[in-house]
A and B are shown apart, each in its own frame.
Chain A
Amino acid sequence: MTRRWLWAFAILGLLNAMFFFIALWRDYDREWKRYQKAFFALEGRKARTAREEEAVRGRRYELVQIPVPGTSRMDRCITCHMGVEDPRFADAPEPFRTHPEIPKHPFEKFGCTVCHWGQDMATTTRDAHGRVPFWDEPLLEGEYRQSPCGACHLGGDVAGAPVLAQGRQLYQQRGCLACHRIRGLGGIVGPDLTLVGGRRRDTEWHLHHFRDPQATSPGSTMPPFKHLPEAELKALTVYMLSLREMPSALLASTPVAASAPAVSTLTSRAAVPSPAVTKVTTTAPAASSPGPADPARVPGAAARLSRAKALYTQKGCPACHTIGGVGGKVGPDLTAEGTKTGRDLEWHVKHFRNPAAVVSGSIMPPLADLAEDDLKVLAEYMLSLR
């Protein structure tokens, strides 16, 4: 072997070894570990009881995630934002500060990105905040954070979302109804806006469009609205962004005994609890193991429930009815529908087929195109609402 080969061998060996160590370092030294380190230090300073101190000592660097049930979201925000659920961090600097409490919106059920947007699966700051190419839902800022509320809370005043309410009002006052239709109400001159927030997620586009429709949509006959003050255009944009598909799985319902197939809705190894808990109680002396006849343990009950919820949103029921604060105010509130006497499965199925025949004076349209089993599934859902 000539010296040249030897030199090549030695140098390449060194280079490759160096690349390996670089790769090793890059995998080890993660951005989120630095945030966690800072958090653990902060947590250590705040620890008062023996249990709290033990918890700090047991801390390890690890990825933490909230799987949002019924969706494919895997929110990893809390890997860095570790203090959101802990009231002790109300005075801490970001990203550790406690999140203000929103009643009835537990983290383990909603996650973060349903309301804040951003890239759920990412584990670096820039990517997680989503202001990167090929991610359409960057973190919402300012009043735009009120938009996601409107995806579920379709009617009335939503606490904490005044700009959204203003946007809804302006939509009516400024005559948008004349040309645009939302959930069946409005004119047909312009496009249907029921789901525009899912199609057009860029706030700048909306503002631009309001000011100069022809520039963003060539051939449009919509008159420009640039005479409106900036604040109003913003409010309208907030409203536009709120017009999206409602995640049906997040609708309220009474938990059903889950004998469901082991289809993995992704759940995590996070410090966050799961919502539905099945109980089989055996009290000594009387043992009462549930027998196979127990209806709550019907196999597939959970699957039927999620199908019912999907149908409920697909057919537009939330437009008129409210469940757990979500939905419109045209028809009756269904939050406790299951407790109403005299309404069994048969009643509900009949009502779906021809509402006016069952409830005199009802303006609810009949659910004509649904199969028998779909009607049954919806009826079961109604009965489950307690």
Chain B
Amino acid sequence: MPNAGPQPETPPSEGSRISRRLLLGTGWCGFLISTLGPALANVRYLFPNVVYEGPTQFKVGRAEEYPAGSATFLEEQRLFILHDPEGFRALSAVCTHLRCTTGPFVPPAGQWKEPYSRCPCHGSIFAKDGRVLQGPAPRPLDFYRVSLAPDGRLLVDTAAIVGKDDIFKV
């Protein structure tokens, strides 16, 4: 609409009349809420509520299936089940550098004086307690919580990260 010059002011004698500023202000507030609001809601929208990935908790068989002193590599679940004299631990096999699956544990060789796992992607080397012996990996491997499922099998929860001294005794 063509601007024909300054608008006449609200006559001060009509004090109860709602001011132009209030109307504009309300309008703009409403506009901002109904545009910025959905924009933020869209961000929330992008975060999924259900994911079609492996379950974070799963049973890994019975305690008897893991020989004493063993470090069993579960390839699909990407973790090691360590059966020490003190009990069971579940060590992540996801390299902390760029998330490749690190290799199975092999006996000490060359410069490595303890069993070690080597990541094929950039050569990070890990010890059985998760420590980084070499390589670009910035952090040690995580340990997951081990517990007992109601049916007596071992249950690993990859959503629950525990310290390396958290050992599950059967």
A13 with B29, Cβ < 8 A, contacts A1-B1, A19-B34 known: yes
Number of A residues, CB within 8 Å of B? 48
Is B112 in contact with chain A by the CB < 8 A criterion?
no
A134 CB–B CB distance under 8 Å: no
Say whether A280 contacts B74, CB under 8 Å. Answer: yes
Q: Would you call B100 an interface residue if the criterion is a C-beta within 8 Å of the partner chain's C-beta atoms?
A: no
By beta carbon, the residue of chain B nearest A260 is B76
Docked Cα-Cα span, A277 to B74, in Å, equals 7
Q: Is the CB–CB distance between B115 and A267 below 8 Å?
A: no
CB neighbours of B22 from chain A (8 A): 10
Partner of A62, one of B38, B49, B149: B49
Contact of A12 among B27, B50, B76, B107 (CB under 8 A): B27
Q: Which of A3, A7, A62, A282 contacts B71 (CB 8 A)?
A: A282
Contact with A along B96-107 (1 / 0, CB 8 A): 000000011111
- The answer to whether B72 touches A281 (Cβ under 8 A) is yes
State whether B76 touches A278 (Cβ < 8 A).
yes
A274 interface residue per 8 A CB criterion: yes
- For chain B residues 9-47, which have a beta carbon within 8 Å of chain A? 20, 22-24, 26-31, 33-34, 37-38, 41
A350 interfacial by beta-carbon distance below 8 Å:
no
A264 at interface, CB cutoff 8 A: yes
Q: Which residues of B contact A264 (CB under 8 A)?
A: 52
B72 touches A20 (CB 8 A): no
Determine if A284 and B115 form an interchain contact, defined as CB atoms under 8 angstroms apart: yes
Question: B56 to chain A: which residues have CB within 8 Å?
Answer: 269
Interface centre among A6, A7, A21, A284, by most chain B C-beta atoms within 10 angstroms, is A284
**Stretch from B58-66, B119-127, B132-140 at the A interface:** B58-66
Contacts of A21 in B (CB 8 A): 37
Chain A positions within 8 Å of B7 at CB level: 1
Q: A6-B27, A13-B30, A284-B69 are in contact. Are A273 and B149 (CB under 8 A)?
A: yes
Q: A189 → chain B, closest Cβ, in Å?
A: 48
Q: A264 vs B51: C-alpha distance in the bound complex, in angstroms?
A: 11
Residues of B within 8 A of A177 (CB): none
Indicate if A178 sits at the interface (CB-CB under 8 A): no
Whether B72 lies near A279 (C-beta < 8 A) is yes
CA of A141 to CA of B31, assembled, Å: 51
B104 touches A17 (CB 8 A): no
| Interface of B toward A, CB cutoff 8 Å | 1, 7, 20, 22-24, 26-31, 33-34, 37-38, 41, 49-61, 65-67, 69-77, 103-107, 115, 147, 149-150, 155
Binding site for B on A (CB under 8 A): 1, 3, 6-7, 9-10, 12-17, 19-21, 23-24, 27, 51, 62-63, 65, 67, 85-87, 258, 264, 266-274, 277-285, 287, 289
5 A-B pairs (CB sep. < 8 Å): A13-B33, A16-B33, A264-B52, A279-B73, A283-B71
Beyond A17-B30, A283-B71, 11 extra complex contacts between A and B, CB < 8 Å: A6-B24, A10-B22, A13-B28, A27-B41, A267-B54, A269-B53, A273-B58, A274-B58, A277-B60, A278-B74, A289-B103
